[in-house]
Homo-oligomer: A and B are copies of this chain.
Amino acid sequence: MINGVVMTERTMDLRKVGLKVTHPRLQILRLLEKTERKKHLTADEIYRLLNEQGDEIGLATVYRVLSQFEQACLVRKHMFDDGSGRPMQACYELHEGDNHDHMVCLETGDVIEFVDEEINRRQTEIAARHGYDIVESSLILYVRPKKD
């Protein structure tokens, strides 16, 4: 029963980028919204969480939808290499337009977001100096708790 659904903010998001409003797309968007700023979810986690809450959505669909969302700039995809040796997995978060960067604690796996205008400024400047425009940037600090 998606037809005739109330016009929520999320359905608008989908319409705006030219994607049909389907159950999987809505649910994935809602889940990311709920999880926003708390955690960065992998495709598999999204798949599992949705199915646990009763939405029967295939893993392939999760991947397809996330990929479409990424191209539509609705989500950002990250590859965090926690150095754990286990295979790397992409993780996703809602794209809020604030273009923040990330810090990954190698001991706890915690992800901390931050923004630094000076760093952003210098990045733009460096790119310009080489004759480029920045399309996207990825800054990840792998850290460990300070011992003092």
A residues lining the B interface (CB < 8 Å): 77, 79, 81, 83, 88, 103, 105-106, 112, 114, 116, 118-119, 122-123, 126-128, 130-147
Contacts and interface: CB of A to CB of B under 8 A. Distances in A.
A116 B126 contact: yes
A122 B103 CA distance: 13
A132 B119 contact: no
A106 B131 contact: no
B126 A141 contact: yes
Given A127-B141, A127-B143, A137-B142, 13 more contacts: A103-B126, A103-B127, A103-B132, A116-B126, A119-B122, A132-B143, A132-B144, A133-B143, A135-B142, A135-B144, A136-B142, A137-B139, A137-B140
